[in-house]
Amino acid sequence: IIATALPTISASFNAGSVVSWVPAAYMLTSTSFQPLYGRLSDIFGRKAALCLAMVVFMIGSLLSGFSRSIIELIVCRGFAGAGGGGILSMAQIIISDVVSLRD
């Protein structure tokens, strides 16, 4: 979704090539936080880990929408990625809990 908005974001913040860090920050934190959410779900439960991931993603996305500089947007997208990675991993973990291996 963000890829189509990158030219507009770059022009709005006068960011130039720095704008490429916006999706990169999301992907870096998303992939690095996925194993952490797996462990958190083992300790605190699936529902708690999924709710935490959703709250982190929501706050990061909300802050991204209100960012006033490109650096702030990159940091907020990274924060949203930390939640997004949890949502992705928790969805797969919950599906594997619900569906038996035989199916």
Average pLDDT score, the chain = 95
Distance of CA 20 to the CA centre of its chain: 16
Q: Tokens representing 3?
A: 């890829």
Q: Which long-range contacts (CB under 8 A, 24 or more apart) does 3-7 make?
A: none
Alpha helices in the chain (DSSP H): 2-13, 21-44, 46-65, 70-98
Q: Interior CA angle at 17 toward 2 and 66, to 5°?
A: 45
- Please give the angle made by the CA atoms of 41, 32 and 44, to the nearest 5 degrees: 10
Q: CA-CA distance, 88 to 3, in Å (whole number)?
A: 19
Average pLDDT over residues 44-58: 98
For residue 2, the model assigns a pLDDT of 85
Q: Is the pLDDT of residue 27 over 70?
A: yes
Model confidence at 20: pLDDT above 90: yes
Angle at 55 between CA 11 and CA 58, to 5 degrees: 20
What is the pTM for the complete model shown? 0.92
